[in-house]
Amino acid sequence: MKLIIKLLLTALAVVVLSEILSGVAVESYGSAVIVAIVIALLRLIVKPILIILTLPVTILTFGLFLLIINAIIILMAGYFVGGFEVASIWWALLFSLLLSLFQSVLFSLLPEEK
């Protein structure tokens, strides 16, 4: 149940950020839910592979390259989901940062399980 709530909160954050950022567009609320699911799957499957492949660059940049990996994940979600578009990697980077911020705030409002 908590997973579904987190996905819906992420979809809400995607919709809010698409309204705020002019370089990000979401067609509908259904597309936002699909984007949330695709981003979760990409973070689960693709992100660890990208981290391992780019480990030397990540070490050289003291971890800042992880921001670029997050932006690539957002661009990949834009490629896979038809109703979601990101104009450039810079918009994806800003979207990724703000999405992480929104998620941390929204997830902190959820009650903790015992």
42-71 pLDDT, tens per residue? Answer: 999 999 999 999 999 999 999 999 999 999
Cα distance between residue 21 and residue 6, in whole Å: 22
Domain ranges of the chain: 2-104
Cα distance between residue 46 and residue 75, in whole Å: 13
Low-confidence ranges of the chain (pLDDT < 70): 114
What is the predicted pLDDT for the residue at 110? Answer: 87
What is the predicted pLDDT for the residue at 20? Answer: 96
DSSP state of 85: E
Query: Are 89 and 71 a contacting pair, CB within 8 Å?
Result: yes
Q: pTM for the complete prediction?
A: 0.91
What is the predicted pLDDT for the residue at 59? Answer: 96
